[in-house]
Amino acid sequence: MLKKAKTGLLAAALLTFSAVAADNTPQYGVELQGFDFPYPIEKFNFSSQQQPLSMGYIDARPAGKANGRTVVLMHGKNFCGVTWQDAIEALRHAGYRVIAPDQIGFCTSTKPAYYQYSFQQLALNTHQLLASLHIDKITLVGHSTGGMLATRYALMYPQQVEKLALVNPIGLEDWKAKGVPWRSVDDWYQRELKTSAESIKAYEQKTYYSGQWKPEYDRWVTMLAGLNNGPGHKLVAWNSALLYDMIFTQPVYYEFGNLKVPTTLLIGTADTTAIGSDIAPPEVKATIGHYNELGKETAKKIPHAVLIEFKGMGHAPQMEDPAMFNRTLIDDLNKL
């Protein structure tokens, strides 16, 4: 009887904790209204697929003497332009102008009710943004899903890209071809509706940071959780589902050999990110997400690629050790 009573009290305590955690999660607008940004968010308004859209972006000017170069930072699936904050500051102080856009469907940008997402479309949107700013030469840095997009961009606009840097990009393997089950957009949507601060933190701690956690990561968990907890949460979840389908079904894996721009891979070797690994059969799951191998394999596919490995670091080395990462990145970019 006493054991049952203790079990009941524990369950009640856990429910109370979850309720308190939910109550403490902020509610941000569908374009992250209410989040505290360290930079002004500019807006690029344009038309695409017969509808008006707005693309949020950060335009950070050099702090001190400008070197005449512009870096475009492409964020990952569970990131925003602002999550590049440490890199933006380091690059600014190294003389670079920095553009950090939020792609359509993400963060401070429009969440369309209907949109045919493709990496080509997102690349075109970004190309039009840069044209509106009269920027014709860029150094392109892409992280995670942003690495897939940056690869596609460099394939489409090689004459504009002076240098390509890929930070733990996903898409270094074709998960579908390796046996990961396909998941419908409707199934992705139901999954995304369940997103919470607790689920975001648990996933990131396991996959991004090799089981470790630092207090400074909490800000980015709160950012995503607040967006998913806001009045537009269904539209946020729907766009997230469409984007996951794009990522899973549109590999750039087979085209790395076609890159014609100087490329550097910056790889945290302990990364285990693999889309669909949560539903993959055990024998398939064991074969995917091994960045200690994927980095080396991809460097062989890209002509004249440079590989820089961060031993024991996870999916986001730019956030695990910003000072070290930014020194390494800027040293590499300056070699151009």
Phi-psi region of 118 (alpha: psi -120 to 50; beta: other; left: phi over 0): beta
| Contact between 298 and 172 (Cβ < 8 Å) | yes
Residue 23 is predicted with a pLDDT of: 58
Other C-beta atoms lying within 10 Å of the C-beta of residue 74: 30
**Rounded distance, CA 331 to CA 165, Å?**
12
The C-alpha R_g of the chain, in whole angstroms, comes to: 20
Say whether pLDDT at 209 is over 50: yes
Phi-psi region of 209 (alpha: psi -120 to 50; beta: other; left: phi over 0): alpha
DSSP strand pairing (306-310 vs 263-268) = parallel
pLDDT at 8: 46
Q: What is the mean pLDDT of the chain?
A: 93
Kind plus residue range of the DSSP H or E element containing 67: none
What is this structure's pTM? 0.92
What's the pLDDT at 302? 98
